[in-house]
Amino acid sequence: MTFIGIRAVARPQRQMRMLTGHPKVPCSTLTACRCSSRITVTGEFAWPLDKLSALRLGRRLAVEVPATHSGRRAFVDITPGKVEPDAQAHGERWTHRSTARSFRVEHWEYDAELLDGFDYDIGAARLRSAAAVDESELLTVLREWRLEPHRFDYAWNTASPR
């Protein structure tokens, strides 16, 4: 069994100590995902560290998902809500990090031919949306929508026009 960048050993006790620093975590509950040069090991559906930090800093994340028809492209994006200290931080030209943000999750579909231009919103359709009051509820929404957190990327790295 190979974890990304780490070779798992045959003895579970040593494997747990190597990955988590704790020998009592059962092997069957682990998942590993690579985030830049770091590996996050956890027992459940979880964010890569770099994407979790981006959300806490108020950065939007997006992922392309299958569209309902050919000639269309669809995206799901997560937009973190503003918190009160964001205004002060913006005025002082720094970014406030908060674990108390709410989130808006939206699934949009666009005409593929118009996506690269200024008129991308012609024919756009919001297929579904959800609000999450905190990070754990955000994971619940993603679980219901069958979207894994590691699939999301920074919005500027995707073709999402929003």
Q: What is the pLDDT along the chain (162 residues), one digit of tens a residue?
A: 434 433 333 333 433 333 333 343 343 334 444 444 344 444 457 899 999 999 999 999 999 999 999 999 999 999 999 998 988 898 898 998 999 999 999 999 999 998 888 888 888 999 999 999 999 999 999 999 999 999 999 999 999 998
Residue 100 covered by a domain: yes
14 and 79 inside one domain? no
- pLDDT, position 13: 40
The half-sphere exposure of 112 on its side-chain side, counting CA atoms within 13 A, is 10
| Full-model pTM | 0.71
30 and 63 inside one domain? no
Residue 162 covered by a domain: no
34 and 70 inside one domain? no
61 and 136 inside one domain? yes
26 and 57 inside one domain? no
35 and 53 inside one domain? no
- The parent domain of residue 31 ranges over 2-42
- pLDDT, position 134: 95
- pLDDT, position 31: 44
- pLDDT, position 43: 46
Tell me if residue 61 falls in helix, strand or coil. strand
36 and 115 inside one domain? no
- pLDDT, position 118: 83
- Residue ranges with strand state E in the chain: 2-3, 6-7, 31-35, 38-42, 61-65, 72-80, 103-111, 125-132, 153-154
- pLDDT, position 130: 97
Residues 6+ apart with CB under 8 A from 61: 51, 54, 55, 77, 78, 152, 153, 154, 155
Query: How many domains does the chain fold into?
Result: 2
Residue 23 covered by a domain: yes
